[in-house]
Amino acid sequence: MFLTFIAGAQRPAQGPMSKKRITPEKLGYQLVWEDEFDGNKLDSTKWKVRGVGPRAIAYVSEEAVKVENGYLKLFALKQDDKMLGSAVGTQNLFMSKYGYYECRAQLQKSQGVWAAFWIQSAEISKGEDPSVYGAEIDIMEFFKKLGTDIVSHNVHWAYGPHQKTTHGMQSYLKGVSKGFHTFSLEWLPDKYIFYIDGYKFYEVTAGISNIEEYMILSMEYPNKIEEISKTIFPDVFIVDYVKVYQKKD
């Protein structure tokens, strides 16, 4: 996941494209997959803790992933000089193409670390055509240093020396860093549409994947230790649910 350079390539923040709020049902979608994180552990038929081991300046650990009181909690933890990050994914458990992808979540509180909800291709480093090899679709990332009311979106493809990106798209929604909000993507054969709380913020026609991909939820760290100088540990990304909708045809 190529995230560390994004903050330097963000577009100016913008409000929603329309005051109209949509739901996937209004767009003709039907629910096909969901997890409301009931119980006291991660549902292993839907998710796996992803990428256990070193990542950026931290270490992805199962210790930093908890399910309790109906929520998935992805922590950023500090244990002496060791920092723990967290990630879960649906690779090889639920792979899909097109549809409406949504999570309801509460974002992390501090700067430095960041919450992310994204879709990833298992083939992305094998070639440069996103239609064939897929894309990384960053439905939501919350870089708090950009502002307390700004959420970022991005698309990357062609991992390698010729990697391409749409560059960061910033959405401004007052109060988005407080309480729970929905972060959604409508993935169509010819475009991506990004939503927050049902409001449309961006439509993108570049980097369109036409292959099945998988979802990831994560608490990310930067590559440089000085970038977490304002991080308050422990911090947590709290997810209420994830839902996927598709159309019959």
Digit-coded pLDDT (tens) for 99-123 = 999 999 999 999 999 999 999 999 9
Q: Sorting pLDDT into bands at 50, 70 and 90, what band is 248? A: confident
- Cβ atoms of 22 and 195 closer than 8 Å: yes
Alpha-carbon distance values, 209 to 6, 29, 122, 131 (Å): 20, 19, 12, 4
- For 64, the 3-state DSSP assignment is helix
Q: Is the peptide bond before 24 cis (omega within 30 degrees of 0)?
A: no
Residue 125 lies in a domain: yes
* % of the chain residues with pLDDT over 90: 94
* pLDDT for 10: 60
Q: What is the pTM of this model?
A: 0.94
Q: What is the pLDDT of residues 136-174, one digit of tens each?
A: 999 999 999 999 999 999 999 999 999 999 999 999 999
- Cβ atoms of 132 and 147 closer than 8 Å: no
pLDDT of 3 above 70: no
CA neighbor of 112 nearest in space, from 69, 158, 151, 143: 143
Rounded to an integer, the average pLDDT of 218-235 is 97
Residue 240 lies in a domain: yes
Rounded to an integer, the average pLDDT of 39-60 is 97
What beta strand segments (E) does the chain contain?
A: 30-35, 48-49, 53-55, 58-60, 65-68, 71-79, 82-89, 99-106, 114-120, 136-141, 150-157, 164-165, 169-172, 181-187, 192-196, 199-204, 214-220, 235-246
DSSP-derived letter for residue 10 is P
Q: Which domain holds residue 126?
A: 90-246
Residue 149 lies in a domain: yes
Residue 143 lies in a domain: yes
Q: Sorting pLDDT into bands at 50, 70 and 90, what band is 196? A: very high
For 163: left if phi > 0, alpha if psi spans -120 to 50, otherwise beta; the answer is beta
* Pair of tokens at residue 120: 């990833």
CA neighbor of 210 nearest in space, from 194, 195, 190: 190
Residue 82 lies in a domain: no
pLDDT of 31 above 50: yes
* pLDDT for 98: 98
pLDDT of 125 above 80: yes
Residue 72 lies in a domain: no
The CATH number linked to 156 is 2.60.120.200
Element (H, E) at 133: helix 130-133
Integer Cα distance of 238 and 206 in angstroms: 30
Rounded to an integer, the average pLDDT of 21-46 is 97
Residue 231 lies in a domain: yes
pLDDT of 2 above 60: no
CA neighbor of 134 nearest in space, from 118, 147, 126, 123: 123
Q: Which amino acid is at 226?
A: E
Q: Sorting pLDDT into bands at 50, 70 and 90, what band is 134? A: very high
Alpha-carbon distance values, 130 to 24, 152, 163 (Å): 25, 21, 11
Rounded to an integer, the average pLDDT of 124-134 is 98
Total count of domains within the chain: 1
Question: What's the mean pLDDT when you consider all of the chain?
Answer: 95
* pLDDT for 179: 98
Residues in contact with 209: Cβ distance below 8 Å, sequence separation at least 6, in sequence order: 97, 121, 130, 131, 134, 135, 137, 157, 187
pLDDT of 5 above 90: no
Residue 81 lies in a domain: no
* % of the chain residues with pLDDT over 70: 96
